[in-house]
A and B are shown apart, each in its own frame.
Chain A
Amino acid sequence: MINSSEKIIEVKNLVKKFGSFVANDHLTFDVFKGEIFGFLGANGAGKTTAMKILCGLSKPTSGDVKVAGFDVYKQTEEIKKNIGYMSQRFSLYEDLTTVENIRFYAGIYGLTNKEIKERSEMLINKLGLDNVKNTLLKSLPLGWKQKLAFSVALIHNPKIIFLDEPTSGVDPITRRQFWEMIYEAANSGVTVFITTHYMDEAEYCNRVSIMVDGRIEALDKPGLLKKQFEAETMNEVFLKLARNIQEV
């Protein structure tokens, strides 16, 4: 599915400083259209900072960053229209019903009433939520909420979807189902940019980058990274990398 060589995210020498602290130190990488890109790193490695910049929430100190063809310095509006976002907390309103949630998010992305109606019906049918469409979200099981959150994040047909640790605190079966949805989205041409703590999930990605202390220390297909670091699993790769840096 990663047959495309069309770059959808281009990052060149991205630097982000907070005072004298360098959160992102000359990051350079590209993400191709339709690929699942794993963005790994320990807590505090600078993942969130970089992701915020890519989402148009904050501006880089220096460097060139283009997301979906738009410049993060000047065209954040355009970027925001072309990306979807989902965090570990699912971020739906517990005190709204299923349908109300879908309509709300479709609404803030500026879909027309007709589009909202069509897509919410389609979504409810696809997810099999017809019985609970008027139920308050808080009484739905976690797995359903997560599916719904993912679908809602895609409701405006974004080119890229950013997933910030979407599977934290979720049971293995739900995680598996969730990855099926991710694959489905990628197959339909959506680029998936995902951060995760689970190294087994890193293996599901087409390519992964590993950040340590604000720098990208490794970036390749999981299989090649394992070869390069002579490791059995991605977990080992990650530990070796982190250890090497500490020893230096």
Chain B
Amino acid sequence: MKRFLGFVKKEFFHIFRDYRTMIVLFGLPVIQVLIFGYAINTDLKDAHVAILDNSKDQMTRQITQKIVSSGYFMLGENLNSTADIEKSFRSGKIKEVIIFKENFARDYLKDGKAKIQLIADASDPNNANLIVNYTLAIINNYQMSLMKEFKIPFQITPEVRMRYNPELKSVFMFVPGIITILLMLVCAMMTSISIAREKEMGTMEILLVSPLKPLQILAGKVIPYVLLSFVNAITIILMGKWVFGMPVTGSYLLLLGVSILFIITALSLGIFISTVANNQMTAMFISLVGLFLPTILLSGFIFPIENMPVPLQILSYIVPAKWFIIVIKSIMLKGLGVTYIWKELCVLFGMAVFFILISMRKFKIRLE
């Protein structure tokens, strides 16, 4: 019994003295609860809407006022013509356009009927549904208050349209997301683990003492993963096209080019992790917490970033996957060209260069 207790005590020492075990035991659940708790947030907050008011009467102004002051929406811009709708959606900021038909108040008071058209950006289907439902609720609310005033049954008929993904197919959303996660997983996690394995087995020393240059060693480790993940990306795109009927409306060339850029970013992250981690377990753990979870949770893949609290939104800016998802969604769903996504491309490119530089530097320092 005494020996047993001693054994239990010893086990506690193992746990308390190993910071990795401590992180897994206590840190990970906390991080997960925090991220999941905040990220799975179906409440709407400050969604940008554009208003095309063809009537410009007191009623349309009241409805606009109600929508904007609800706290769920923010007035992105006032549009002047139907031609502007396309442009404001392409900017990527506007999630919904509300269109009032001409003579709104007059029709309403005369015929008891008026029309509002809602167009939502459904490249993120969950969010689009949410936005439309909230808007409808506000309009209904306004109607109720009017009915109390006039005591006649009036009716505002909303007409809803979903842009880019009219059937709200979530597969359209998941394909870009899965590509992102897979590239991140294969490139970053697998390279970091495989380099860490060399260190763990002691073969890294032999490689470093050999006439191979450090750059050659890195490239040799990385290239198989580049090829594999590239094949992966193409397979997913083709599967999306043939199995789920997801179109690639933009240029395939651009899509592949952007994928390479993201692959390079992920690989350099993987190399960076491997310079920090001395064994496979650590490499895997850092990859999971540092790359995999943010890629799933903070990239806008599953949970809309706009609805997260500000600190998480800020955090999402440094997640490469966020930018990549914006870019491939724009190319695949909206068919946009470089002119529309150059900003995101610049961010991705900057991240790639930054991570390559620091991982090379770290790798060299380790040699010293």
Are B210 and A93 in touch, CB under 8 angstroms?
A: no
Closest 8 CB pairs of A and B: A89-B202, A85-B209, A80-B211, A91-B202, A91-B206, A108-B210, A91-B203, A58-B368
Residues of B within 8 A of A89 (CB): 201-202
Partner of A77, one of B202, B203, B211, B368: B211
Residues of A within 8 A of B201 (CB): 89, 91, 93-94
In the complex, residue of chain B having the shortest beta-carbon distance to the beta carbon of A85? B209
Residues of B within 8 A of A55 (CB): 209
Which residues in chain B, 183-209, are within 8 Å of chain A measured between CB atoms?
A: 201-203, 205-209
Encoded as 1 (CB less than 8 Å from any A CB) or 0, chain B from 193 to 231 comes to 000000001110111111110000000000000000000
Are A81 and B205 in touch, CB under 8 angstroms?
A: no
Alpha-carbon distance A162/B208, docked complex (angstroms): 13
Partner of B206, one of A56, A58, A87, A110: A87
A37 sits at the interface (CB 8 A): no
B367 sits at the interface (CB 8 A): yes
Residues of A within 8 A of B207 (CB): 108
Closest chain-A Cβ to B301's Cβ sits at a distance in Å of 34
Which residues in chain A, 75-93, are within 8 Å of chain B measured between CB atoms?
A: 77, 80-81, 83, 85-93
Alpha-carbon distance A87/B368, docked complex (angstroms): 18
A57 sits at the interface (CB 8 A): yes
Which residues in chain B, 336-368, are within 8 Å of chain A measured between CB atoms?
A: 367-368
A105 sits at the interface (CB 8 A): yes
Residues of B within 8 A of A164 (CB): 205
Q: A57-B367, A58-B367, A58-B368 are in contact. Are A81 and B211 (CB under 8 A)?
A: yes
Q: A58-B367, A58-B368, A108-B207 are in contact. Are A87 and B202 (CB under 8 A)?
A: yes
Residues of B within 8 A of A144 (CB): none
Residues of A within 8 A of B210 (CB): 80, 105, 108-109
In the complex, residue of chain A having the shortest beta-carbon distance to the beta carbon of B213? A77
Pick 20 A–B contacts, CB within 8 A, sort by A: A57-B209, A58-B367, A77-B211, A80-B210, A81-B211, A85-B206, A87-B202, A87-B205, A88-B202, A89-B202, A91-B202, A91-B203, A91-B205, A94-B201, A105-B206, A105-B210, A108-B211, A109-B211, A153-B206, A164-B205
Partner of B211, one of A87, A91, A110: A110
Residues of B within 8 A of A87 (CB): 202, 205-206
* Total chain B interface residues with beta-carbon distance under 8 A: 13
Alpha-carbon distance A92/B202, docked complex (angstroms): 8
* Total chain A interface residues with beta-carbon distance under 8 A: 25
Are B212 and A108 in touch, CB under 8 angstroms?
A: yes
Closest chain-B Cβ to A76's Cβ sits at a distance in Å of 9
Are B208 and A57 in touch, CB under 8 angstroms?
A: yes
Residues of A within 8 A of B202 (CB): 87-91
Alpha-carbon distance A83/B209, docked complex (angstroms): 8
In the complex, residue of chain B having the shortest beta-carbon distance to the beta carbon of A55? B209
Alpha-carbon distance A81/B211, docked complex (angstroms): 6
Alpha-carbon distance A153/B367, docked complex (angstroms): 20
Encoded as 1 (CB less than 8 Å from any B CB) or 0, chain A from 90 to 116 comes to 111110000000000100111000000
Encoded as 1 (CB less than 8 Å from any B CB) or 0, chain A from 12 to 46 comes to 00000000000000000000000000000000000
Residues of B within 8 A of A108 (CB): 207, 210-212
- Looking at A56, A57, A164, the one whose CB has the most chain B CB atoms below 10 A away is A57
Closest chain-A Cβ to B92's Cβ sits at a distance in Å of 47
Alpha-carbon distance A105/B203, docked complex (angstroms): 11
Residues of A within 8 A of B212 (CB): 108
Closest chain-B Cβ to A41's Cβ sits at a distance in Å of 19
Q: A90-B202, A91-B203, A94-B201 are in contact. Are A80 and B209 (CB under 8 A)?
A: yes
Residues of A within 8 A of B206 (CB): 85-87, 91, 105, 153
Residues of A within 8 A of B367 (CB): 57-58
Residues of A within 8 A of B205 (CB): 85, 87, 91, 164
Closest chain-B Cβ to A68's Cβ sits at a distance in Å of 13
